Structure 1
Amino acid sequence: MTADSILNVRWRKASASDPFDNCVEVARLEDGEVGVRNSRFPSGPALVFTRDEMVAFIDGVKKGEFDGMTV
């Protein structure tokens, strides 16, 4: 799905994002799902995840399961 096709949402990004828009943005969708897009391409593709999928992902992030991804 394209990010442009997701209407009436507020895209949010982390305060630690760099000033060049190289970050991930998320938006809560009307049906409770979560949209994810690349801020460099705001009208490009968006991934959509269920609430449970996002809860599992965030839990993994908090537990350090993805710490090696940025090395």
Structure 2
Amino acid sequence: MTARLTFSRNLRKVRTGQGISQERLADLCDLHRTYVSSVERGERNITVDNMERLAVALGVDIRVLLNPDDAS
């Protein structure tokens, strides 16, 4: 699995686990909802800066979102 897909799966897992909608997450990190959606589908080659914004908005270390062991 690529790092992009690992990130996308972990992002969705953490977001839904916290009961946060894509729209709310997008608002929290000042990104567009459709951008967050496309990141979660693995369609975007997301920048490290935006990875950090999403991690901060979720209150998790960015390493959690990049951990391949959590992506299954």
TM-score using structure 2 length: 0.28
TM-score using structure 1 length: 0.28
The structure that is strand-richer by fraction is 1
Task: Say which structure, 1 or 2, has more relative contact order (CA 8 Å, 6+ apart).
Answer: 2
The structure that is helix-richer by fraction is 2
Higher CA-based Rg? 1
